[in-house]
């Protein structure tokens, strides 16, 4: 019988240079916020270019538990969502604890029904991740929110949210998305100052506008939303996954070779591309995307600080560290978004890397070559960084706990092996 959580592992035999093309999927993080937008309308929302991931299945399950229906079509690349009539407003702990993005149903439920009960997600491997910015914003919009039995109980006073000016203390991605969705159906105008500017926010605003919302300023740090009475159905294409893109750009940078990333765009990853350039990796635009080229020589050390967009993404920090492990010289990586996001460092050290972690700073002194080892990771991006490290390591690298990867990378083995990597999934029997 299959276990609920796959304990499969991935085996990489390092040393192959990579050549060919890798298609980049639609963004996980965009799709996870676009799906709850279906709660804002009685009419169908169709998402194309959806990624095929277990996190998308978890969101499908959560929306299903609330009374929305999400049908997966064309092998999962099209999601048809609909939500009409009365719905359930309680998002249960059993689903929410699996994925923090479940909290993105709070704003839409409150806007649609005037109340919602959403479990707090709890801790995750990369840090505490509270929800105070979300709840403070919704409180300003006229919601009363208490925490009872591990659930946020939220109620709009008078049955309806109202527009407000909200100043975020930090440009939280999830809080920007929750408030933006809630504000589409609030009475009056909402302004979010110090809003997140990530491409996934722009993608959500584009979809909400297609549904009839009035939103300006997405992509800047001041977003203004004029509430409307109702939203209608729409069809929307999910933006390219910039984190999947950056991850696969690092594959030829680490292993050597020349790989074209189909659908890649520099504007999604400008700060990351600048760092690749400084490390001596060539990135060029092509008709169909981006091409990354590197010989098998060592790259140069670079310093990296993670920041909200347009800065260097925290979701690419682990993968960048895998590159810098074999650079000439010393690189300093500073993690400014999450307090505990260097769990990949001890695993990379087991592969022969020289890394010193102090609080939110990792100092990486490049070594000539990494050596394959059995490793495991406790989160999605850390897992893929170990595969990347394995591509250029001598011998075999076996990465355990592949279920993390299944959350965020579709067809990971075929995408790497399609460009010549020696990689396979070992099924736990
Ligand atoms: C989203 C992404 C995640 C990415 C992160 C930062 C999704 C589904 N996930 O997560 O992959 O790593 O952006 O780019 O889109 N914080 C608070 N209070 C809050 C909210 C956040 O203190 O109310 C803190 C968090 O603990 C964290 C930081 O702010 O330290 C960033 O969080 P946020 O931008 O909200 O990230 P997410 O939306 O959870």
* Dist CA 84 CA 170 (whole Å): 35
Mean pLDDT of 278-293: 97
Strands 304-305 and 330-334 turn out to be parallel
| pLDDT given at position 122 | 67
**How confident is the model over 347-401, as pLDDT tens digits?**
999 999 999 999 999 999 999 999 999 999 888 999 999 999 999 999 999 999 8
Q: Would you state the structure tokens that stand for residue 27, as one six-digit string?
A: 């963004």
Q: Are residues 211 and 259 in the same domain?
A: no
221, 237, 253 — which closes off a domain? 237
Give the CATH number for residue 265.
3.65.10.10
Q: Which residues line ligand 1 (CB under 6 A)?
A: 29, 32, 100-101, 127-134, 170, 172-175, 200, 314-315, 337-338
Nearby residues of 274 by Cβ (< 8 Å), 6 or more positions away:
none
Asked whether residue 4 is assigned to any structural domain, the reply reads: no
Structure confidence at residue 123 (pLDDT): 59
Is a pLDDT exceeding 70 seen at residue 4? no
- Asked if residue 222 and residue 247 are part of one domain, the reply reads no
pLDDT tens for 295-324 read 878 999 999 999 999 999 999 999 999 999
Protein residue whose Cα sits closest to atom 22 of ligand 1:
130
- Residue 268: phi and psi, rounded to 5, are -80, -15
Q: What is the pLDDT of residue 130?
A: 87
Domain end (from 222, 237, 252)? 237
**Domain limit, last residue, from 202, 237, 272:** 237
The span from the CA of 60 to the CA of 81, in Å, is 9
Atom of ligand 1 nearest to the CA of 243: 11
Judged by average pLDDT, the poorest of 182-191, 240-249, 405-414 is 405-414
Between CA 106 and CA 301 the distance in angstroms is 43
Residue 412's pLDDT is what? 96
User: Residue 1 — pLDDT band, cuts 50, 70, 90?
Assistant: very low
For residue 428, the model assigns a pLDDT of: 77
Q: Which protein residue's CA is at the shortest distance from atom 35 of ligand 1? A: 172
Give the list of residues 6+ apart from residue 86 with CB closer than 8 angstroms, or none: 67
Torsion of CA 386, 389, 393, 396, to 10 degrees: 20
Return the best residue to mutate from 167, 170, 198, 404 for the ligand 1 pocket (most ligand atoms within 8 A of CB): 170
Taking the centre of ligand 1 as the mean of its atom positions, its distance from the CA of residue 198, in whole angstroms, is 11
Identify the pLDDT of residue 152: 95
Q: In the prediction, which pLDDT does 377 show? A: 81
Q: Are residues 219 and 327 in the same domain?
A: no
Q: Is 124 a catalytic residue?
A: yes
The verdict on 179 and 262 lying in the same domain is no
| Residue 124: pLDDT band with limits 50, 70, 90 | low
For 277, the domain range is 9-25+240-426
Q: Tens digits of per-residue pLDDT, 65-91?
A: 999 999 999 999 999 999 998 899 999
**Alpha carbon of 34 to ligand 1 centroid (Å):** 16
Residue ranges of E strands in 194-309: 214-216, 222-226, 234-237, 257-262, 282-285, 289-294, 304-305
**Bridge partners, 89 (sequence order):** none
């Amino acid at each position: 019988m299959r276990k609920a959580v796959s304990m499969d592992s991935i085996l990489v035999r390092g040393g192959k240079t990579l050549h060919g093309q890798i298609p980049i999927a639609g963004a996980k993080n965009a799709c996870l916020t676009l799906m709850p937008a279906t709660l804002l309308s009685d009419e169908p929302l169709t998402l194309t270019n959806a990624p095929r991931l277990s996190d998308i299945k978890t969101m499908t399950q959560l929306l299903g538990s609330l009374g929305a229906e999400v049908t997966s079509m064309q092998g999962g690349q099209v999601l048809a969502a609909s939500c009409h009539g009365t719905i359930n407003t309680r998002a249960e702990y059993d689903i929410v604890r699996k994925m923090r993005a479940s909290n993105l149903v709070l704003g839409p439920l409150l806007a649609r029904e005037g109340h919602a009960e959403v479990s707090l997600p709890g801790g995750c491997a990369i840090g505490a991740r509270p929800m105070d910015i979300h709840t403070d914003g919704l409180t300003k919009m006229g919601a009363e929110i208490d925490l009872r039995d591990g659930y946020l109980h939220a109620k709009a006073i008078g049955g309806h949210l109202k527009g407000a000016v909200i100043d975020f203390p930090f440009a939280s991605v999830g809080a920007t998305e929750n408030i933006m969705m809630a504000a589409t159906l609030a009475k009056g105008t909402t302004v979010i100052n110090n809003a997140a500017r990530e491409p996934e926010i722009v993608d959500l605003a584009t979809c909400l506008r297609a549904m009839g919302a009035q939103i300006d300023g997405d992509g800047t740090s001041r977003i203004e939303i004029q509430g409307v009475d109702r939203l209608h159905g729409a069809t929307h294409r999910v933006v390219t996954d910039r984190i999947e893109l950056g991850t696969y750009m690092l594959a030829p940078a680490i292993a050597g070779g020349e790989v074209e990333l189909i659908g890649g765009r520099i504007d999604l990853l400008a700060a990351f591309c600048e760092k690749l350039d400084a490390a001596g990796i060539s990135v060029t635009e092509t008709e169909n995307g981006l091409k990354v080229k590197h010989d098998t020589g060592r790259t140069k050390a670079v310093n990296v600080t993670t920041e909200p967009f347009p800065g260097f993404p925290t979701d690419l920090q682990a993968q960048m560290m895998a590159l810098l492990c074999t650079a000439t010289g010393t690189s300093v990586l500073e993690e400014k978004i999450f307090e505990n996001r260097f769990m990949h460092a001890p695993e990379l050290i087991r592969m022969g890397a020289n890394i010193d972690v102090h609080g939110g700073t990792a100092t990486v002194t490049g070594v000539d070559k990494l050596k394959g080892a059995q490793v495991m990771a406790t989160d999605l991006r850390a897992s893929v960084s170990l595969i990347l490290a394995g591509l250029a390591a001598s011998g075999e690298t076996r990465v355990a706990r592949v279920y993390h990867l299944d959350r965020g990378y579709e067809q990971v083995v075929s995408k790497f092996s399609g460009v010549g990597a020696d990689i396979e999934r070992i099924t736990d029997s």
